[in-house]
Structure formats: structure tokens, C-alpha cells
Amino acid sequence: MSSSNKILAVDGLTIGAGGESEVAPVVDRIDLTLAQGSALGIAGESGSGKSTLLLAMMGVVKPGLELRAGTCRFGQLDLFAAPPAALEKLRGGRLALVPQNAGLALTPNIRIGDQIAEVLRYHAGPADQERHNAHIAELLALVRLPDPELLGRRFPHELSGGQLQRVGIAMALAGQPDLLLLDEPTTGLDVTTQLGILELLEDIRRKQGMAMVCVSHDLGVLARLCGDIAIMYAGRLVEQGPATRLLTQPAHPYSRALLASIPRLASAGIPTGIPGRPPAPDQALAGCRFAPRCRHADRTCSDVVPPSRDLTTGHLVACHHPQLGMEPGSAVAKLATRQHPGATEARLLVDGLSVTYQRRGLLPGLRQTQAKRALDRVSLILHRSEILGLVGESGSGKSTLLKALAGLWPVLEGRAVMDEHRDLTEPVQKRDRDSLRRMQLIFQNPDASLNPRHTIREILSQPLRLYFSLSRTEVEARASRLLGDVRLDASYLDRQPAELSGGERQRVAIARAFAAEPDVILCDEITSALDVSVQASVLQIIRELTQEKQVACLFVSHDLAVVNAIADRIAVLYRGQLVELGEARQVCAAPAHTYTRQLLAAVLEPPASGGGTVSGAPA
């Protein structure tokens, strides 16, 4: 690649904790180049250094870290040596970032259009208000948002997650960037919205000649969007090369293990996660950092850092034994077929349930009948020890159903009964303590649901003290057992949520829900932000606990492959109506409804070993 064609060059980049040279770097001797108009994907488990590397590509180092060695150049500009004024003008203009959670990146009390206008004024120069408004409408239309003029006058809280993500992309495009950095751009989005955003990004990249770097835990997303993929582990690049070759012929055992952790529509079971966990920052490892988790590791792997070798043109791997390891898909844990309980063992009965977006007001009868229905006469049964997967696009009513069942949103009409006699149409404030105990909700984002000031001991002790008459010693013992149930040891009791990884925080949230010994748990997109290996572990935990505790589970997810892996049956919602309900394998293998077929067609899966195309990609 000629130097004139490079838009980004990372050379020997090392970033670590400030003043602590004995602590392993978060980013360790990274070498990467990116050509104009190309797209690079970066994958790896949580804590592998992906986001730190992405921020470094903007000349940003996270607080508590420092640049130890190396350079990062945007064109001819050294981002770590450039004056602040040059970087301020560059960021948001020629070099733009789309953060993982666009909702948190937007100012909540400023209208969408005004926030985009601020970017335009700074990077596109002064213009009259009419011209700015037209440009804002063009940007919102470019990211395929409906009614751009109206949407520009709304506040962030009035938009869905998918709409907020598109607004984030529109703001990044406002400065007409040459390089767009994307941090988990489709996390939490339903499959059709995800595919639409990826097609949008691909179309913009081709038309504008814009380069992209995309960080994602979803290898299917990277296979769809990126021409090249780099795999990171514990701060190091272990493999990089053309996406098709790396995904079909992975050479590093870690790459193969990641691919084996991905649930696939063709596999009826939960994939196994990668045994063990990445090394802690203070854990000294002389050789390959993946060696403690690799079943093929020998003394050389433990003692000698593997050099990066070129297997074929452009396919690099840092491994002493690149041809060893498991084939993708070989580690899928097959689940035995279970007979579903009879109707007499139903834990939850929903009959003709309807919910509107509008709360009750002064004229409840008139307003409720005229308001749009978020749920329209939904009926379903959930049995003991059963996992019912609930899928559909954003706005289909999935989370609304969970909120209605939990008493967090009023019901317009219909019945919802737990254990044959507990009325779930009552708001949560009117439910007795035992009814509250028997139904627990696990939220999508554990960061928002766990008190950051409390230790894990306090978080788990609260439901135990609330619902049971236990001594202090009994509370302590049960809290330790709960952590064991979610495969965390008792040492976590004295930690706070900020000291845990995202997957560990979600496990704590699961443990807290099961602390109440519920009959029904409601899971709202609980794996959407997890990397594939941690996701596999969390799915296995949910499956084991529902069977062991005989708990019924309503599992909401936008990922049909995940739902197929864990659920006994699948219910498909479309615009508030239940359009299909059946056995998981049957729904995924032979869907009866056109909408279900569209959802399945939008699922992105990386190609299996030996070749193949990416599901959802154009022919």
C-alpha cells in the first residue's frame, strides 16, 4: 500500500496505566494501516482493548491511562503530537466517532435538529437558518429516518434506540468525515434495523469514499460491513486479514473459539463459551496471553511471545501453532428435547391483552380507544421451566409487554394472570409483596439497574432481606450461593459494579433476580451488549437456572439466533400483534408468517468454516 493511499497508520502503539510499568498494557504494540475508502473491523471479548484502540485513533487516551510508545497518524498528522486546536477542528469533522450508546452521547434537553446544527456551524461554517434546516433534514433523510422535519424538533427521549443510533450517525456525517469510527454501532438493535444501518453505512462509504473502523462483538456485523477484520485479545492483535478468509479459515485458537461461541440458526443448542477468563492487568505473562485458556498450549506458548507471521498475503496470525484448534461450531452443546408441561402447569396466562402508548387522562375512555395500541389483543401461555422467546422489531411491543406484566405500564383491556389467580393488570404499587417476589425483571443494561454505590453484597442482600426472614449469617451464605449459581466466586461480594466487566454485572443482575425465588422472570435484551463468549455463558446460566428452579422465563431479544439457541418456543410480535407462535426449531426452520421470514432473512451470521456467504448480505 502506498503511503499516499493510507488514511490511518498505527505503529507500535502501546497504552497502559500511568506510572505502573509492571501492569500489562491495555493496548500492546499494535500495528495497523487503513487505506482510503476501506473498512476495518475489530473484534474481541470485553476488556480486550478494542474501544481503547478506537479512541486512540482520535488521539484520545482514557483517564488513568497514558501513551507509552508508538504513534497514530491520520494522514500525515501525528494525533498524539498535534496541537489541541488542530485536534479540536479535526474531531467531528474529517475524523468522526459514532459512540456505542448514541442516547447517552446526545444532550437530553436539546432538540435533535439543534444538536446537528451545532456540528454544522462548527465544521461546515456559518449559514442562514433556512439552509441549516434543509441540511439537517437531508442528513436525517440520508440515515432513513421518517419525517425528518418533525423528527428534528423532537428531544432524544422521544426516539427509539434505533432512531437514536441513526441520529448519531447523521451527526457524525455532518462534518463530512474522511474516516468514520464506529463503536458497537448496532448493539441493541433489532435485526432489520441493524441490517438497514449496515446497508446505509456501506452505501455511504462507497459513494463518499469514506474509510471506516468498526468495533463490534458481533462477527456477523463485521463480516457484512468490513473487508478486513482484526482480532484482539488482552491488548494484542492475534489475527488479522481479509474478512472472508479469516472467518472461514481462522488460524488462531482464539479466533476459532470466538466463532464457536456464536449461536446459529442451523444449530439447536447453546454454544459453549471460552473456558477461563482473560488475564488481569497485573497478571504477568511472559508468552502468549491466550495460553492459559488454550488446550493446545505448550511450554513455548507460555514462555515466548508468538511473532506475527504472514500465512498468506495479508493474513497475519500471532500463534506458535496456527493450524491447531477446534473447528467453528464443534463446541455447540446440544440440548435434549423436553416435553412441555401441560396447561395445568402454566405459570403465566395472557389473554387478549391490549396496551396503548398513552397513559390514562381526564377522558380515559375516549383517549384510550383512540390512542395507538402498543399491544393489540395478545394471548400466550408460559409454562413452568419453559423459556418463551419474544422477538420482533423495535416498536413491535416486546418491552411494552414486559412492562405491562411487571405493572410498570397500564393495561387497557384483557387478562394477565400468574399462577392462575394473581392479577397482573394491577399496577406495581398495588401488588402485595408476595406477588412482587414471584415476578422479577432483568433489564437490558445492568449499569442502569445496579446501584453504583453499593457493593455486590448489598445488592444481593436487599431482596433477601425484603422477601425472607433471614439472619445476617443466612443472608451472607445465600448471597455467596447466588454468586456461585452465576459462576462468580464469593470474592465478588465486596466489589462494586464499576469493578466488574459488563458480563459480570449482568450475572449479578441475574443473581439478584433469582434471589427472590421467583416463579416468572422477564428478560429484556439481557445479552445484547455482551460479546459472544460471555453471551454463551449467560445463556447457559439462564437455561440451567430456569430448569433447576422450575422458573418460567419470557426472554426478549432482537437476535433470532440467540432466541433459537435458548428458547423452547418463539412468539413473534409485529406492530403490537402476535403473528406467529410455535416451537423454536419449527419457527426458525419453516416460518409460517411473511414477517417472520423477513426477520430470519435479516439475521447476520459469519460464514461457517469452509466458506459460504454472510446471511443477510446481498447476493
pLDDT tens string 57-68: 999 998 888 999
Task: Please state, in angstroms and rounded to a whole number, the distance separating the CA atoms of residues 66 and 79.
Answer: 14
Q: Give the rounded percent of residues in the chain with a pLDDT score beyond 90.
A: 50
Closest of 348, 489, 369, 359 to residue 416, by C-alpha: 348
Q: How confident is the model at residue 4 (pLDDT cuts 50, 70, 90)?
A: low
**DSSP assignments along 144-191, one per residue:** T-SSHHHHHTS-GGGS-HHHHHHHHHHHHHTT--SEEEEESTTTT--H
Instruction: List the Cα angle 246/252/256 in 5-degree steps.
Output: 70
Q: How confident is the model at residue 19 (pLDDT cuts 50, 70, 90)?
A: low
**Whether residue 356 sits in one domain with residue 249:** no
Q: Flag whether 255 is in a domain.
A: yes
Q: Flag whether 580 is in a domain.
A: yes
**Whole-Å CA distances, 28 to 51, 57, 88, 203, 235:** 13, 14, 26, 34, 5
- Beta bridge partners, 42, equal 215, 230
Residue with cell 394471548: 379
> Which of the residue ranges 105-109, 189-193, 360-364, 559-563 would you say has the lowest mean pLDDT?
360-364
User: Does the pLDDT value for residue 328 go beyond 60?
Assistant: no
User: Does the pLDDT value for residue 428 go beyond 50?
Assistant: yes
Q: What is the CATH number of the domain that holds 1?
A: 3.40.50.300
Q: Flag whether 184 is in a domain.
A: no
DSSP code of residue 116: H
Q: What is the mean pLDDT of the chain?
A: 85
**Whether residue 375 sits in one domain with residue 291:** no
Residue type, 505: R
**Whether residue 596 sits in one domain with residue 451:** yes
**Whether residue 593 sits in one domain with residue 455:** yes
Q: Flag whether 449 is in a domain.
A: yes
Q: What average pLDDT score do residues 291-302 get?
A: 90
Residue 20: per-residue pLDDT: 56
Residue 126: per-residue pLDDT: 66
CA dihedral 306, 308, 309, 311 (to 10 degrees): 110
Which residues constitute the domain of residue 16? 1-36+45-84+227-263+284-332
Task: Please state, in angstroms and rounded to a whole number, the distance separating the CA atoms of residues 485 and 511.
Answer: 7
Q: Give the rounded percent of residues in the chain with a pLDDT score beyond 70.
A: 90
**Whole-Å CA distances, 72 to 59, 138, 211, 232, 578:** 7, 33, 16, 17, 51
**Whether residue 23 sits in one domain with residue 68:** yes
**Whether residue 462 sits in one domain with residue 323:** no
Cβ(529)–Cβ(187) below 8 Å: yes
**Whether residue 314 sits in one domain with residue 435:** no
> Which of the residue ranges 141-145, 161-165, 449-453, 511-515 would you say has the lowest mean pLDDT?
161-165
Residue 564: per-residue pLDDT: 92
Residue 609: per-residue pLDDT: 61
Task: Please state, in angstroms and rounded to a whole number, the distance separating the CA atoms of residues 483 and 510.
Answer: 9
Longest dimension (CA), the chain: 76
User: Does the pLDDT value for residue 343 go beyond 60?
Assistant: no
Residue 212: per-residue pLDDT: 95
Residue 327: per-residue pLDDT: 41
Q: How confident is the model at residue 208 (pLDDT cuts 50, 70, 90)?
A: confident
Q: What is the pTM of this model?
A: 0.83
Per-residue b or e along 438-454, where b marks 16 or more CB atoms closer than 10 Å to that residue's CB: bbbbbbbbbbebbeeee
Using DSSP bridges, classify how beta strands 39-43 and 228-233 pair: parallel, antiparallel or unpaired.
parallel
Cβ(533)–Cβ(45) below 8 Å: yes
- What the block records as the C-alpha cell of 200 is 446505509
User: Does the pLDDT value for residue 190 go beyond 60?
Assistant: yes
**Whether residue 372 sits in one domain with residue 257:** no
- What the block records as the C-alpha cell of 221 is 456485523
**Helix 161-173 × helix 129-142 angle, to 10°:** 120
> Which of the residue ranges 399-408, 441-450, 508-517 would you say has the lowest mean pLDDT?
441-450
The three-state (H, E, C) secondary structure of 59-103, written as one string: CCCCCCEEEEEEEEEECCEECCCCCHHHHHHHECCCEEEECCCHH
Q: Flag whether 502 is in a domain.
A: yes
**Burial status of residue 18 (CB atoms within 10 A of its CB: 0-12, 13-18, 19 or more):** middle
Q: Flag whether 130 is in a domain.
A: no
Q: Flag whether 93 is in a domain.
A: no
Helix, strand, coil distribution of the chain in percent, nearest 5: 40, 25, 40
Residue 241: per-residue pLDDT: 94
DSSP code of residue 430: G
User: Does the pLDDT value for residue 432 go beyond 50?
Assistant: yes
User: Does the pLDDT value for residue 617 go beyond 50?
Assistant: no
User: Does the pLDDT value for residue 582 go beyond 90?
Assistant: yes
Which residues, including other chains, have CB under 8 Å from residue 567's CB and lie 6 or more apart?
387, 388, 389, 555, 584
Domain count within the chain: 2
Cβ(522)–Cβ(406) below 8 Å: yes
> Which of the residue ranges 82-96, 115-129, 292-306 would you say has the lowest mean pLDDT?
115-129
User: Does the pLDDT value for residue 189 go beyond 80?
Assistant: no
Q: How many beta carbons lie within 10 A of that of residue 359, not counting itself? A: 11
> Which of the residue ranges 104-118, 261-275, 425-439 would you say has the lowest mean pLDDT?
261-275
**Whether residue 435 sits in one domain with residue 317:** no
Residue 499: per-residue pLDDT: 84
> Which of the residue ranges 7-21, 29-43, 243-257, 415-429 would you say has the lowest mean pLDDT?
7-21
Q: What average pLDDT score do residues 24-31 get?
A: 90
Residue 175: per-residue pLDDT: 85
Using DSSP bridges, classify how beta strands 6-17 and 27-35 pair: parallel, antiparallel or unpaired.
antiparallel
User: Does the pLDDT value for residue 433 go beyond 90?
Assistant: yes
Q: What average pLDDT score do residues 152-159 get?
A: 88
Q: How many Cα atoms sit within 13 Å of 294 on the Cβ side?
A: 25
Q: How confident is the model at residue 324 (pLDDT cuts 50, 70, 90)?
A: low
User: Does the pLDDT value for residue 483 go beyond 50?
Assistant: yes
**Whether residue 552 sits in one domain with residue 503:** yes
Q: Flag whether 102 is in a domain.
A: no
User: Does the pLDDT value for residue 342 go beyond 50?
Assistant: no
**Whether residue 361 sits in one domain with residue 308:** no
Q: How confident is the model at residue 185 (pLDDT cuts 50, 70, 90)?
A: confident
Q: How many Cα atoms sit within 13 Å of 128 on the Cβ side?
A: 2
Q: What average pLDDT score do residues 491-509 get?
A: 88
**DSSP assignments along 383-416, one per residue:** ETT-EEEEE--TTSSHHHHHHHHTTSS---EEEE
H-run or E-run covering 546: helix 532-549
Mark which of 332, 358, 393 sits at the end of a domain.
332
Task: Please state, in angstroms and rounded to a whole number, the distance separating the CA atoms of residues 99 and 101.
Answer: 6
User: Does the pLDDT value for residue 394 go beyond 60?
Assistant: yes
3 state SS of 349: strand
Q: How many beta carbons lie within 10 A of that of residue 87, not counting itself? A: 17
User: Does the pLDDT value for residue 611 go beyond 50?
Assistant: no
**Whether residue 296 sits in one domain with residue 383:** no
